[in-house]
Amino acid sequence: MDRLREKAILIGIDDGSVDAEHSMDELRLLADTAGAETLFTAIQQKPSPDAATFVGIGKLFEIKDVAEANEADLLIFDGELTPTQQRNIENLTGIRTVDRTTLILDIFALNAKSGAGKLQVELAQLNYMLPRLGGKGTEMSRLGAGIGTRGPGESKLESDRRHIRRRIKFIEEELRRTEKNRALIRRSRGKRGVITVAVVGYTNAGKSTLLNALTDAGVLAQDKLFATLDPTSRALKLPDGRSVMLIDTVGFISRLPHTLVEAFKSTLEEAAEADLILNVCDASDPHFDEHLRITKEILSDLGAGTTPEVTVLNKCDRCADVFMLPFGRHVVRISALQKKGLDELLEEISRALPDTVRRVELLIPYPDGGAAASLRELGRVETEEYTADGIRVTALIDRRYLSRFEKYYHSEG
């Protein structure tokens, strides 16, 4: 049964550091994803957040009056509140208060499906909440009541700090074991010469839709923020005959909470260790260039700043003038939903990857027909001719498989 939507007021400050209106629009989407109905938004012009109440005491009392008149359940602040600010705001307004970080953590808790994903979210939540357990505020007295309370649960949040620290230690140990398994899988891929392509980008850019379009992966694809969190891997064959492992990753967002980046580091390392990165963005979003920049910054922080990259401008079917979008080397315009531009994207992936493919001409005797079948599976057959001496084949094949067909070489290009 769906939970009743909470009525929220969104509050931010305009200090000139970011586009305040765009940030509030993004906060509205986050609130909607978490299950809140936005009643009003309030932006206060301030050079910096007020140390006691974030927006200042006068503005806070204005917000309190509006909230009471409209029976608001929740105040959501577009920033990271200190424990003192949160306690002061709740004490002065009597309304449960969460910040941007708590909201994002809540959405992650709602959408995490795998055991590892749930543990990663819980770890991020506990680390964020630990310094905020000092006093009995409105949030603590209403645990389980709505946004900001999903994840660890009532019994854990009302426990003492020692119990929470024990829980954090236990989760960290469990995640270390999970990471060891992931590291073994990555090393195994490396030994087998598996090429990995990581799909990254701003949340709701259409990464899962793209993965489904390319591989029929059956990944949940919804028009909402952070619809999928758990990494998905699928095999993909390129036009030049090479097979790659396509890996979907968690979506990014501006001011992605540091606790989440830390918790999901093992998942994000799939991007850091990939041979190629597909940076997917929603080209119909007027701020798509900013989204690309944010993604690049996070990738750089993860140590993937020098990894070869293809920029994928998705949702071009929604663009009024697609020809105004950037275009050039390693930039592709597509519509994953309508499956347009995918052939061009596959060609660009082939060009961007390290050159590991050779064109060979083989003569395979008829008794060795199994070799022809292997060639079709491992490479891309360009021409095939049945002659008196056997099957004459021209094919593109990855260098690591060449030794399997050495005895059939007729010529090589």
* Domains recognised in the chain with CATH numbers: 6-157 (3.40.50.11060), 194-352 (3.40.50.300), 357-412 (3.30.70.240)
> Which are the contacts of 181, defined by CB distance < 8 A and separation ≥ 6?
none
Name the nearest CA neighbour of 313 among 273, 270, 344.
344
Band (pLDDT 50/70/90 cuts) for residue 9 is very high
pLDDT of residue 150: 64
pTM over 0.85: no
134 pLDDT more than 80 = no
pLDDT of residue 231: 60
pLDDT (mean) for 233-249: 83
Please state which of the ranges 189-203, 254-268, 368-382 shows the lowest mean pLDDT.
Answer: 254-268
β-strand 243-248 against 195-201: which pairing, if any? Answer: parallel
Name the nearest CA neighbour of 94 among 75, 70, 69.
75
Find how far residue 2's CA is from the centre of its chain: 25
pLDDT mean across residues, the chain: 82
393 pLDDT more than 50 = yes
pLDDT (mean) for 95-107: 91
pLDDT (mean) for 135-156: 52
111 pLDDT more than 80 = no
138 pLDDT more than 50 = no
143 pLDDT more than 70 = no
